[in-house]
Amino acid sequence: MKKWSTRDKLNASGAYSSSNQDSEDANPAARQRPPGRNASKAQQKAKGKSVHSEDTISNENINLFNKLQLRKAIAAEKMAEATLTKAQAAQT
Residue 24 has pLDDT above 70, yes or no: no
d(CA 39, CA 17): 38
Buried b / exposed e across 60-82, counting CB within 10 Å, b at 16+?
A: eeeeeeeeeeeeeeeeeeeeeee
pLDDT at residue 46 in the model: 82
Window from 41-45, 50-54, 70-74 with minimum mean pLDDT: 50-54
Residue 87 has pLDDT above 60, yes or no: yes
- Please provide the size of the chain in residues: 92
Please, which residues have CB within 8 angstroms of residue 16's CB and are 6 or more apart in sequence? 7, 9, 10
State which of 56-65, 66-75, 83-92 shows the largest mean pLDDT.
Answer: 66-75
The whole-number average pLDDT for the span 61-88 is 95
